[in-house]
Amino acid sequence: MTILRIAIILFSLFITTTVVGQENTEVKTIKIKKESLFVKAAFDDTEFKVIAFDRYGNPHENAIKSFAVFYKEGKNTYQAPVVGNTFPKKTIEFLTKKKKEATKICLTQLKAQDKDGHIEDLPDLCDIVIFPDCKKVNKSR
């Protein structure tokens, strides 16, 4: 019977130490913030494309999936949504051929897609100036 008492005492000590060993503190959570791959976008005025740049400064030409072109003409403001990274031909012709003066545009709602398919928002690009095409002038003497 003494062996049984010793076993019961050891068992109760074991249970007591495991119960006391657990802390009654508040459970903390760890917050993880996913870093964006793309940091900014730039406008290529020779090909009328928008290019995304990653945090290391590397360009990604086909990363931009959509954006909106915002511009003013007189007192009217216009906004044209664009899918892809290239301006539509109608927009290019309007801004370069049909106008006689330079137009200041702003690119908003820039969306870029990384290689895993995640969509990221990029900051707006404003104060881009589009100049009309120059025409040859005949000089008269």
Summarised one tens digit per residue, pLDDT across range 42-67 is 999 889 999 999 989 999 989 999 99
pLDDT digits (tens, 9 = 90+) for 97-131: 877 788 889 999 999 998 888 899 999 999 898 88
Q: Cβ-count burial of 64 within 10 angstroms (0-12 exposed, 13-18 middle, 19+ buried)?
A: buried
SS3 state of residue 41: strand
Spatial strand order in the sheet of 49-54: 38-44, 49-54, 59-60
Residue 56 to residue 111: CA distance in whole angstroms = 19
With cut-offs at 50, 70 and 90, classify the pLDDT of residue 136: very low
